[in-house]
Homo-oligomer: A and B are copies of this chain.
């Protein structure tokens, strides 16, 4: 019986003694790696409960060469959107728990953290956010013996798994929707200049998709990068409306502008959607939380984060080969688009 002073945490051999079996039996009960008779299993489980046993993760990791931890590299750049980042992080952590994995948080600027956690076997795999077109970390990751999944689509994935929202398709969907409403001049208000300069893949691809769609549909297009503040938005709109083109619609790919967009358009004498239609590319909750919901192509942060974790786990457990996955866009109509008049 349980007559021990739990002065120190119970170990597997404490449980074995308490249950009157060997430690290997206890281990097999926990892992299920071998069939154990129902009676024995119940005795062991009761002993574990009585001793409040829980295995030391370090011992387990040492013996099994598995940490059950995933590394997640998050960006801390001023030009990325904290809201979107948090959504991804939440999705990754939540999904990881589903696979009985925990998440170690690594920051972009902590150079060498990737090598560190992987060479010390602190993590079984990695998920990386905010990938650039020619990201210098990709060769590093490709050499590792641990699976890595990129959230983003670099030019050359080097055999790494990648998953991302189809930002180009999102732009195309938005342009097509606006074109069908009769708009023949559309402006793209995009990511901050910094994001474009470093070729963050979401920024690049949304812009390219926009330009291609406009060319195909013979729509006049303007595009302008914009920081997430009122001052820069004013400058951007200035540029958009000062041009010779008659702009009657906007595609906005910059979540931080949404709270101030309507007012700034009003300052230019344009009401939404009466004078100008607006489609945004943003997480669904942000798009609908506005005073009037925006017509939006939503960034499915949860789906992307989930897919990223699934892909790491696939490579880990099933030794699946690398894959590229793009998540299809879908447009939901809000109160910010109307037929051109």
A242 within 8 A of B: no
Q: Chain B residues with Cβ under 8 A from A116's Cβ?
A: 54
Q: How many identical chains are in the complex?
A: 2
Q: Which of A18-26, A32-40, A119-127 contacts B (4 or more CB under 8 A)?
A: A119-127
A223 within 8 A of B: no
A56 to B, closest residue via Cβ: B121
A30 within 8 A of B: no
Q: Which of A78-86, A132-140, A245-253 contacts B (4 or more CB under 8 A)?
A: A78-86
Could you tell me the distance between the alpha carbons of A256 and B4 in the complex, rounded to whole angstroms? Answer: 54
- B-facing mask of A82-114, CB < 8 A → 1, else 0? 110110011001100100001111110010010
Q: Chain B residues with Cβ under 8 A from A61's Cβ?
A: 57-58, 61
Chain A residue total in the interface (Cβ 8 A):
47
Q: Is the CB of A58 within 8 A of B67?
A: yes
- B-facing mask of A37-66, CB < 8 A → 1, else 0? 000000000000000101111111110000
Q: Is the CB of A90 within 8 A of B107?
A: yes
A120 to B, closest residue via Cβ: B57
Could you tell me the distance between the alpha carbons of A58 and B58 in the complex, rounded to whole angstroms? Answer: 5
A281 within 8 A of B: no
A231 within 8 A of B: yes
Q: Is the CB of A9 within 8 A of B85?
A: no
Query: Residue A120 contacts which of B55, B72, B89, B97 (CB distance < 8 angstroms)?
Result: B55
A89 to B, closest residue via Cβ: B105
Q: Chain B residues with Cβ under 8 A from A291's Cβ?
A: 229-231
A323 within 8 A of B: no
Assess A121 versus B82: contact at CB under 8 Å? Given A104-B103, A260-B263: no
Assess A54 versus B120: contact at CB under 8 Å? Given A62-B62, A259-B259: yes
Nearest CB in chain B: distance from A20 CB, A: 24
Q: Is the CB of A69 within 8 A of B104?
A: yes
Query: Residue A104 contacts which of B102, B121, B259 (CB distance < 8 angstroms)?
Result: B102
A318 within 8 A of B: no
- B-facing mask of A168-182, CB < 8 A → 1, else 0? 000000000000000
Cross-chain pairs A/B with CB under 8 angstroms, 19 sampled: A9-B121, A52-B119, A54-B119, A56-B120, A58-B60, A58-B67, A59-B62, A62-B62, A90-B107, A93-B106, A94-B107, A97-B113, A102-B104, A102-B105, A102-B122, A229-B291, A230-B291, A259-B260, A260-B263
Nearest 5 pairs between A and B by C-beta? A58-B61, A58-B62, A54-B119, A57-B120, A230-B291
